[in-house]
Amino acid sequence: MRHAKTLSAGAGLVAALLISLSGCVSGPQQNQSAGNNGGGAKTGPVKIGFSMDTLKEERWQRDKQLVEQHAKEVGAILDVQVANGDDAVQTKQADNMLTQGVDVLIVAPHNGEIAASIVEAAHRQGVPVISYDRLIKNADVDLYVSHQVEKIGEMQARYALDHVPHGNYVLIGGAPTDNNALLLRKGQENILKPAAERGDIKIVANPFAKDWKMEEALRYMEDALTANNNKIDAVVASNDGTAVGAISALERAQLAGKVLVTGQDAQLDACQKIVEGTLTMTIYKPIKPLAYSAVDAALKLAHKEPVNAPDKINNGKIDVPAILQEPQAVDKNNMVNTVIKDGYHTLEEVYAHVPKDQWPKATASNGRKAEVSPFIAAFSLLLAAFSWVR
Ligand code: GAL
């Protein structure tokens, strides 16, 4: 008995030590007595405000749906506001949510610098702020949940360099107001700059597309093609939207499928283009762990409980405690074993434009769509079992 007690005390100590070593966060330190979140421990359902920049890309629709889903599962009250790329609107929507008494804010900022004022306003009321996917700069952000963004840039560039070790490269970045676009470029340059310095590759253009606009990417790609007599060998596009824009320009020049193009997000049209051969790769970032970690952390912060944040990232003011998910590179060789196996998209969706006799042999479990609808997954498994028994 005594032995067991010593053991559990020891385990407790080790756990406490691990938590303190790996970084723990429990909400804003200043002005705790003010506002809604100020007094004692929170009772009743937690009110979460989710301020989003956009729903333009498919992934953000998924983020919204999964945050809503998990908030419901844990019994939180959720208010989602979408600013559609307008900073003034995003600030106002966040202010309104604070006025309405949210206990915690999750913010996917349009502009990482401007959103600092949202953090300041929230903290004046003792409301903690989670920076979602994109980092809010120069502010006392309580927690950052995202993927390993610089690593994504490195993965895109390494993939391109492994497949096209020589030639002319075009880099198409995302919104310069989004810290992710800058981190991606940093990661890409970590890999590509040494190759350019060796003279293996030449970076002939490296623009950033305002607000990640596909039309801007298309225009930049057309300019690069014209300036280089169509002699472009690889396009490192920072996300799927900009990749699709670049592919449109390549199509007009009859070069689609002949030039390597990278992407990011594993959105459906991108995955379709990968199996059709006009996009070469994308980065798959499962959204469920991201959305769920944000809601779970929001609850903890609202209850002033510690959140285990194993990573950190400097935002120009502080080292922000962070929870960063692992990205995965996807091309046509591992599409079935990643995106499809996880149920992110179904086999039928991804191969919709490919003749059926060219579809990969897939089992029922990799045709499911688990992340969004477990019911369909269970149903197709049942169906498969039934036909097997017959
Ligand atoms: C980035 C995000 C990407 C992509 C892009 C455009 O911040 O990490 O996944 O969606 O914005 O919205």
What are the extents of the domains in the chain? 47-147+287-325, 149-285+328-358
Q: Residue 234: left (phi > 0), alpha (psi -120 to 50), or beta?
A: beta
b/e code 323-340 from CB counts within 10 Å (16+ = b):
bbbebbbbbbeebbebbb
Residue 334 C-alpha to ligand 1 middle, in angstroms? 22
CB of 212 sitting under 6 A from ligand 1: yes
Q: For ligand 1, what atom is nearest to the CA of residue 285?
A: 9
* Average pLDDT estimate for 67-90: 98
In this prediction, residue 6 carries a pLDDT of: 40
167 Cα to the center of ligand 1, angstroms: 28
Closest ligand 1 atom to 212 CA: 6
Please give the distance, rounded to the nearest whole angstrom, from the Cα atom of residue 264 to the centre of ligand 1.
Answer: 8
Per-residue pLDDT at 2: 39
Q: Quick check: CB of 180 below 6 Å from ligand 1?
A: yes
Q: Give per-residue pLDDT as tens, 232-272.
A: 999 999 999 999 999 999 999 999 999 999 999 999 999 99
Cβ of 110 less than 6 Å from ligand 1: no
Ligand 1 centroid – CA 116 distance (Å):
19
pLDDT of residue 26: 75
- Which residue from 119, 47, 45 is spatially nearest to 78, judged by alpha carbons? 47
Q: What is the number of the ligand 1 atom nearest to the C-alpha of 264?
A: 9
CATH superfamily of 47-147+287-325: Response regulator (3.40.50.2300)
The tokens for 298 are 């929001």
Q: Which residue pairs from 193-196 have beta carbons closer than 8 angstroms and sit at least 24 positions apart in sequence?
A: 195/161, 195/165, 196/169
- Is it the case that residue 375 has pLDDT exceeding 80? no
pLDDT band of 40, cuts 50, 70, 90: low
What is residue 268's predicted lDDT score, i.e. its pLDDT? 98
Give 291 Cα–ligand 1 centroid separation in angstroms.
14
CB 174 near ligand 1, within 6 Å: yes
Predicted confidence (pLDDT) at residue 74 exceeds the cutoff of 70: yes
Q: Is the CB of 148 under 6 A from ligand 1?
A: no
CA of 247 to the centre of ligand 1 (A): 18
Could you tell me if the CB of 59 is within 6 A of ligand 1? yes
Length of the chain: 390
pLDDT tens digit string along 283-330?
999 999 999 999 999 999 999 999 999 999 999 999 999 999 999 999
The more confident residue out of 46 and 384 is 46
DSSP state of 340: I
Q: Do 149-285+328-358 and 47-147+287-325 fall under one CATH topology?
A: yes
Helix, strand or coil for residue 329?
strand
**Higher model confidence: residue 10 or residue 291?**
291
Tell me: pLDDT of 60 over 80: yes
Give residue 65 CA to ligand 1 midpoint distance, Å: 16
Band of residue 24 on the pLDDT scale cut at 50, 70, 90:
confident
Residue with tokens 């700069």: 137
pLDDT at 381 over 60: no
Looking at ligand 1, which residue's alpha carbon is closest to its atom 9?
Answer: 265
Structure confidence at residue 173 (pLDDT): 98
Q: Is 327 in the pocket of ligand 1 (CB under 6 A)?
A: no
**For the chain, what percent of residues have pLDDT higher than 90?**
81
Q: What is the largest CA-CA distance in the chain?
A: 80
Q: Which atom of ligand 1 is nearest to the CA of 180?
A: 7
Mean pLDDT of 339-360: 97
Listed ranges 38-47, 213-222, 371-380; the one with the highest mean pLDDT: 213-222
Distance 41 CA to ligand 1 centre (A): 35
Residue to probe by mutation, ligand 1, list 59, 244, 344, most atoms within 8 Å of CB: 59
* 114: CB partners within 8 A, 6+ apart: 87, 90, 91, 177
Q: Which of 5-9, 101-105, 330-334 has the lowest mean pLDDT?
A: 5-9
Q: Please say whether the structural domain 149-285+328-358 has been given the CATH code 3.40.50.2300.
A: yes
